[in-house]
Structure 1
Amino acid sequence: MPVSRVSQVRPGLLLSDLDSALDPSVLTSRNVTLVVNASGLDPPYPVLDPVLQVLPVPVQDRPHAPLSLYFLPVARRIQQNRTGSTLVHCSAGRSRSPALVMAYLMRSEGLSLRRAHELVLEARPFIRPNAGFWRQLLVLERELLGQNSVRMTQTEAGVLPEALPDPDRGGTDTGYCINV
């Protein structure tokens, strides 16, 4: 059975690739009324009733791209969407859109970055935000919670996020690399 290209992170909060976001049957079957477009493109979305609202996030999938400029506006717009589901997408649904969803979960639910990542990864096992987006999420986490649950670590595969020991679990679980 193929992996679904649309992943439900929370009721009413979906994550996908560009092709799924342009598919009228996906949008109508999931009652999508808001699309957060982090693909860096301006594609022709289907005309639907009710009218589909689109929030563009014009950021490329590059480590120095300023995705954090959109963390708060995206979170606010998702919270304001009460008429249907929100679909957050980028080109493949692996880097920009998962980072935006993690930022939303941290802002709206008060989750640590580690927990937000776990939830998004559970829904969409092949996510891999780039190192720059991880760093921006770390800054957001420190602003929101005053501490970090993840750190960036140099590995043979490059700089990767590593979960820090969880004080809620007695600090016994050692760090592990995320997205290796």
Structure 2
Amino acid sequence: MAENLNQIIPNIFIGDFSASQSITLLEKKNIRSIVSVIKHSSSSFPQFDYLNIPIDDNLNTNICQYFDIVTDWIQSKLILQPHFGILIHCAAGVSRSTTLLAAFLMKSKNLSPKDAISLISSKRPQVQPNDFFIYQLELYQNCNFQWDPVKVFINLLNWISFLTCSLISH
């Protein structure tokens, strides 16, 4: 049985929804801040700081628009509350939370999407971001870890152009 919460790096945890609802577990892990990546989220415990990212896990979700918001929020919590942990969770702790944690690791440690996801999966083997989320992480890296809709659009046009050329040549 998979764990519902795993520490990835010091003070950074990833988990499923049930982890965010267990006051005993949160206190045991010294967690005080929670990034909740589910469509309908509520702040269950008033003594915790919450960042709610209301998105679904599907191939239509624009998750990259939240990368800078989440990475900046996590970084500020690490600076302001260095002795407390942060939990990033979605429903299963597999795709959405992994993608946002990967964006943070990429930006803070200058990692590639593959290396960030490998680091997470080394501590939480069940992680598996959907293909579109991985593509958005690659765009984020190509934009030097800053959400820029113009750069994203240009990268998207280049990708479409590449696909079109490869289809025509076959």
Q: 1:134-153 counterparts in 2 under 5 A? A: 134-144=134-144
The letter for the 1-side match of 2:85 is S
1:77 aligns with 2:73: yes
1:100 aligns with 100
What secondary structure, in the 3-state scheme, does the structure 1 residue paired with 2:142 have?
helix
Deviation at 1:13, TM superposition (A): 0.3
CA contact (8 A) 1:37 1:89 kept: yes
Task: Return the alpha-carbon distance in structure 2 between the equivalents of residues 93 and 129 of structure 1.
Answer: 10
Q: Aligned-pair distance for 1:113?
A: 1.2
For 1:132 and 1:52, locate their aligned partners in 2 and report how far apart those are by CA, in whole Å: 31
After TM superposition, give the deviation of residue 44 of structure 1 in Å: 4.8
Structure 1's unaligned 5+ residue stretches are 146-180
Question: Tell me, what secondary structure is at the counterpart of 1:144?
Answer: coil
Kept after mapping to 2: 8 A contact 1:40/1:90 = no
C-alpha separation between the residues in 2 aligned to 1:35 and 1:9? 15
Supply the AA of the counterpart residue of 2:95.
S
Counterpart residue identity of residue 122, structure 2: E
How far apart, CA to CA, are the structure 1 residues paired with 2:40 and 2:30? 23
Tell me the alpha carbon deviations over residues 83-104 of structure 1, each in whole angstroms, 9 at most, x when there is no partner.
2111000000011000000000
How far apart, in 2, do the equivalents of 1:26 and 1:81 lie?
A: 19
Secondary structure of the structure 2 residue equivalent to 1:54:
strand
> Greater shift after overlay, 37-46 or 101-110?
37-46
| Counterpart residue number, 1:170 | none
The answer to whether the aligner puts 1:66 opposite 2:62 as a matched pair is yes
Unaligned stretches of 5+ residues in structure 2: 146-170
**What root-mean-square deviation, in Å, do the aligned CA atoms of Structure 1 and Structure 2 show?**
1.3
Aligned residues: 141
Question: Structure 1, residues 110-133: CA drift from partner, whole Å, max 9, x if none?
Answer: 111111011011011011111111
What one-letter code is carried by the residue in structure 1 that aligns with 2:126? Answer: F
User: 2:2 matched to which residue of 1?
Assistant: 3
SS of equivalent residue, structure 1 residue 81: helix
- The answer for the alignment partner of 2:119 in structure 1 is 119
Output the TM-score relative to the length of structure 2: 0.79
Counting strand residues as a fraction of each chain, which structure ranks higher? Answer: 1
TM superposition score normalised by structure 1 = 0.75
Alpha-carbon distance in structure 1 between the residues aligned to 2:97 and 2:9: 14
Deviation (angstroms), 1:3: 2.9
* 1:169 corresponding residue in structure 2: none
Aligned counterparts of 1:3 and 1:129: Cα–Cα separation in 2: 17
Query: Residue type matched to 2:72 in 1?
Result: R
Secondary structure of the residue that 2:143 maps to in structure 1? helix
